[in-house]
Amino acid sequence: MTKGNNEDGERMSRRVMLAGTTLALGIGAAGAAVRSAAAQTKISQAAAKYQNTPKGQQSCATCVNFQPPNACKFVEGTISPNGWCLMFAAKT
Ligand code: SF4
């Protein structure tokens, strides 16, 4: 093996390492973008027809989307356990 071949190998290794680092940074940025998009998927209370009172037997406290003590996976703002909206989905 000649000295030239070793240098080529080292240069190639550095290129591979740099490419890997760039790829890892790219994936990290994409992941942050996805997380950011997910955080922005909540809709307004008006769009969900949210109300502060139950609808019959249905209320946020019994909805799978409710996040105690006062939030919802899909609707913005403060959500009452006694509230209700169009996206109600009963816990099973
Ligand atoms: S009823 Fe609507 S606002 Fe209440 S927790 Fe379920 S999805 Fe959220």
pLDDT in tens, 5-30: 556 656 656 555 555 555 455 545 55
**Residue ranges per structural domain of the chain:** 1-41, 42-92
Looking from the CA of residue 67, the nearest atom of ligand 1 is 5
In the predicted structure, residue 61 carries a pLDDT above the cut 80: yes
Amino acid letter, 92: T
Does 75 sit in the ligand 1 pocket, CB within 6 Å? Answer: yes
In this predicted structure, what is the pLDDT of residue 41?
86
Architecture of domain 42-92: Irregular (4.10)
Q: What pLDDT does residue 27 have?
A: 47
Is the per-residue pLDDT at 40 higher than 70?
no
**pLDDT at position 60, please?**
98
Q: What is the mean pLDDT of residues 57-75?
A: 98
Is the shortest distance between the CB of 45 and ligand 1 below 6 Å? no
Give the closest residue (by CA) to ligand 1 atom 8: 72
Give pLDDT, residue 48: 98
Indicate if ligand 1 lies below 6 Å from the C-beta of 80.
no
Taking the CA of residue 85 as reference, the ligand 1 atom at the shortest distance is 2
Q: What's this model's pTM, rounded to 2 decimal places?
A: 0.62
